[in-house]
Amino acid sequence: MALPWNTEVLDALQPILEAGAGAPAPAVGDVATRRANSEALFGAISATVPETGVSVHEFRTTSADGAVVPLRLYRPVGPPTGSLVVYFHGGGMILGSLDSYDAIIKANVAAAGVPFLAPEYRLAPEHPYPTPVEDCYAALLWAAENADDIGVDGDRIAVAGDSAGGGLAAGVALLARDRQGPALARQILVYPMLDDRTTSPDPALGDVLTWSFEDNVTGWSAYLGALAGGEEVPAYAAPARAQDLAGLPRTYIDVGGLDIFRDEDLAYAQRLWRAGVETEIHVHPGVPHAFEVLAGQADVSRRVLADRARYIAQI
């Protein structure tokens, strides 16, 4: 039996569900259709986000392979806080961009009152592992190296991201620990995509999935190729594979009860606790992946956004 929905969120999703009714779901491996669908959806979402007054400043850095990675620094209205969030957008490793996430990032910056630095990391399948996580790590290095110039305390830098971006944030935290890179103050993982082995449908989640198991197989296969699901997947690609989580920064995780990432996120939180990492986790019943973006006015969405802003403001 499927778990019940939060009715307020389900009502808010009805226009999206009705718009897609009758259209066949993209086949496993069809990245192009998923990209087209996501761009249309993010365009509609961005149109509903109010203006925030957040300013945007363009920079760039160089990734491990010598490629240029564009960066955007988002500054809130008000005096500097000294802290910084290096933020990685979601999209299943195959979707999304700084432009499609621009309004969402601005809203988060305005709510928390903390600047964000976001890289335009390259996407799979054109750029499989390790390119996306190395691009993201390069953004963290740039932030640490330029902290004084951008008015940031180098001891108060966090990494964060949603969905695939949450997985990338977790991967960057592992890289920073293992390479003796910048010491992170926090990692904020929003329904993070952590485990390439999450591929088997769960009847308890029902049929209305805003990120499906077929989507997940597509994303991980694009990112990892033939490695996906096997024994040789690196922890920096799929952080659930990490053998040791000790020494990671204080962690915040939230996820919906109808999200296919729920169980892997809970398992990661439990392993962080056992490794001695202070971890705060919220599981919101009756809501799917990206619920707070798709149903922003719902009470549960307001609560989760307030929780994230509270946590970020403490950095």
- On whether the CB atoms of residues 81 and 147 are closer than 8 A, the answer is no
Which residue is it, tokens 């390479």?
Answer: 179
- Residue-level pLDDT at 17: 80
Helix axes 31-46, 98-112, angle to 10 degrees: 40
- Residue-level pLDDT at 172: 99
- Does 106 have pLDDT greater than 90? yes
pLDDT (average), residues 292-303: 96
| Strand bridging mode 251-256 / 186-190 | parallel
For 113-134, how does the pLDDT look when each residue is reduced to its tens digit (9 = 90+)?
Answer: 999 999 999 999 999 999 999 9
100 included as an active-site residue: no
- Residue-level pLDDT at 21: 64
pLDDT (average), residues 246-273: 98
Distance CA 282, CA 264 (A): 13
Amino acid present at 83: S
pTM over 0.95: yes
Domains recognised in the chain with CATH numbers:
7-13+29-313 (3.40.50.1820)
Task: Please list, in sequence order, all residues whose beta carbon lies within 8 angstroms of the beta carbon of residue 311, skipping any fewer than 6 positions away.
Answer: 186, 188, 252, 280
Q: Which candidate in 63, 163, 221, 301 is catalytic?
A: 163
User: Residue 15, class by beta-carbon neighbours within 10 Å (0-12 exposed, 13-18 middle, 19+ buried)?
Assistant: exposed
> Which of these ranges, 36-40, 117-121, 147-151, has the smallest mean pLDDT?
36-40
Hey, what long-range contacts does 145-148 have (CB within 8 A, 24 or more apart)? 146/59, 147/84
- Residue-level pLDDT at 22: 65
Distance CA 132, CA 129 (A): 6
For 154-206, how does the pLDDT look when each residue is reduced to its tens digit (9 = 90+)?
Answer: 999 999 999 999 999 999 999 999 999 999 999 999 999 999 999 999 999 99
